[in-house]
Structure 1
Amino acid sequence: MKGLVCLLLLLETFVFVNGGLNENEISQQLSSEDRRQNPPQTDTLRAEASTDSQQYCHLSFPDIHAALRELTATVTEQKENIRELTASDTEQKANIRELKANIRALETRLRDAEQAAEQQTISLEELKKKTDETSNLTLSQVEELRMENRDREIAFSASLMESGSGYVGPFTTEITLTYRNVFTNIGNAYNPITGVFTAPLRGAYMFRVSVYGIGGTTAAASIVKNGKRVVIAHDYQTQGNLSSSNGVVLLLEVGDFVYVRLWSGTRIYDNENNNNTFSGFLLFPLREDELCRM
């Protein structure tokens, strides 16, 4: 009954707005419709029903539309919130994926660094081991070379007279000079009694000779190797002092002889100034193949 009344009221409003029916016609239609749908009632009941229906319709329909509008707005807002949450969730997932990728890259770099550190540690240990071995080898080689070079330390230097002064020569033939005043004789390769140097090692040797005399007689002497003249020191003038020197590098085999011979018909003079000297020393030893090439 209430629904029918509301419907009729809406129809009345529609007709009134559109200018179709007047109030009397609408009242008549409502009365006849009410008589068809409902049995006769008392005037009081009809009045109450009409009043209640009008109040219900006027109160219910606006409230329903407002509730629907409010509900629609709430649904729209919730959808927007859901979209925002979905977008935020997608962004968070992307951030999480990026963080995971960064973590994997860092883990890879950490593993590489650990492997590099391990390899470096191994390399340092190997280097230390090799250094120790090299150090031990070097010390051994130094000691060996020192012992070997001890036999290769060869040098001598001497002058003619141990004391006093005087002439030597002239003679009718060449003679071997004996330099008795020994300054140095490392290796004892020089013999001051014979005046002969004997090579103890195969190698290159340096020799020097100096002569001194008084003018009027020639002063001349030669460095001789195994009986063969090599170089000479020679000077001559009618008066005054005479002085000359010469030197040579010789390649000697073990046992080769080197000495100084005074020329025949010449003389030299010596005193405490040690003007006449004979010196020699080993420059460096040579292997057999090196000596052959030379």
Structure 2
Amino acid sequence: MKMLVAQKMLLLLCVGVSLAQDLIITERLIDIELRLKATEETLEELKRENEALRTSTKAASDKLESIQAENKVKKVAFSVGLLASGSQQIGPFDTRKTLVYQKIFTNTGNAYDSNTGIFTAPVNGVYFFRFYAHAQTSDQMAVSLHKNNQLQCSVYSMKPQNNANGSNGVVLSLQKGDEVYTQMWENSWVYDDGNSYTSFSGFLLFPM
């Protein structure tokens, strides 16, 4: 009888030890799960912070690029003379001829093309242009400034008794890609030399 009781007590003791071990293991598993969950939450928070930082950095970079592009666009100015060197009387021609100015004083923004004589607006804005033309004695001189295919203003001298100079200027509202150039009329002459009597200039007043 005593032996039976002892066996039962031993069995209960083993069961108790087993239950205690199971409880410890369960508690450890729960602790590990909580730690993993906390780690996952921390990682998610770090991901959110990283994404927010990335978005903020991109916005700052885009803003900087925008400011740099705007400042670059604002720097548009050119001034050119008809002849790069020497002296020459140009004309006459049977049709109107676009004057191609070869002597570059400045071409900030590279909007003026010395191969064609055409200024192309790099940005929407308001621009100022001025041009000069020189006529020698008894030569007809007539030059016009054009926006795309539309005449804007002109200078004219009908066979002066002495050398004559003409000048005109205009403020134009241009869209990006609009072209501005000067044309000499048919049966007309212009003269230029190292003094750059015949010239063409323009610059951006402000973008729009």
Query: How would you bin the TM-score normalised by the shorter chain?
Result: 0.5 to 0.7
Match of 2:87 among 145, 157, 165: 165
Using CA pairs under 8 Å that are at least 6 residues apart, name the structure with larger relative contact order, 1 or 2.
Answer: 2
Q: Which has the higher strand share?
A: 2
CA contact (8 A) 1:236 1:242 kept: no
CA distance in 1, matches of 2:130, 2:183: 13
**Consecutive unaligned residues in structure 1, runs of 5 or more:** 1-140, 287-294
- Following TM superposition, the consecutive aligned residue runs of length 4 or more in structure 1 with deviations greater than 4 angstroms are 141-144
2:141/2:159 contact within 8 Å kept: no
- Residues in 1 aligned to 2:184 and 2:175: alpha-carbon distance in whole angstroms: 25
Q: Does 1:242 align with 2:149?
A: no
Query: Which of the pair has more CA radius of gyration?
Result: 1
Partner in structure 2 of residue 272 of structure 1: 194
CA contact 1:215–1:236 (8 Å) conserved in 2: no
Pairwise CA distance, 1:221: 0.4
Counterpart code for 1:278: F
Q: Does residue 178 of structure 2 align to residue 256 of structure 1?
A: yes
Alpha carbons 2:112, 2:118 under 8 Å: kept: yes
Q: Deviations over 1:30-88 (max 9, x none)?
A: xxxxxxxxxxxxxxxxxxxxxxxxxxxxxxxxxxxxxxxxxxxxxxxxxxxxxxxxxxx
Instruction: Give the corresponding residue for 1:81.
Output: none
Q: What TM-score, normalized by structure 1, do the two folds share?
A: 0.48
Q: 1:205, CA displacement in angstroms? A: 0.5
Residue 150 of structure 1 aligns with which residue? 72
TM-score (norm 2): 0.67
Q: Which structure 2 segments of 5+ residues have no match?
A: 1-62
Distance (whole Å) between structure 2 residues aligned to residue 143 and residue 264 of structure 1: 47
Greater helix content: 1
Instruction: Kindly provide the CA deviation profile for residues 232-254 of structure 1, in whole angstroms up to 9, marking residues without a partner as x.
Output: 01122442101110000110011
- Residue 274 of structure 1: how far off its partner (Å): 0.4
The Cα shift of 1:199 comes to 0.6
2:114 equivalent to 1:189: no
- How far did residue 142 of structure 1 move? 9.2
Please show how residues 23-172 of structure 1 align to structure 2 within 5 Å: 145=67, 147-172=69-94
Structure 1 residue 227: Cα displacement: 1.0
Quote how far apart the aligned CAs of 1:272 are: 0.6
Match of 1:178 in 2: 100
Task: Report the count of equivalent residues.
Answer: 147
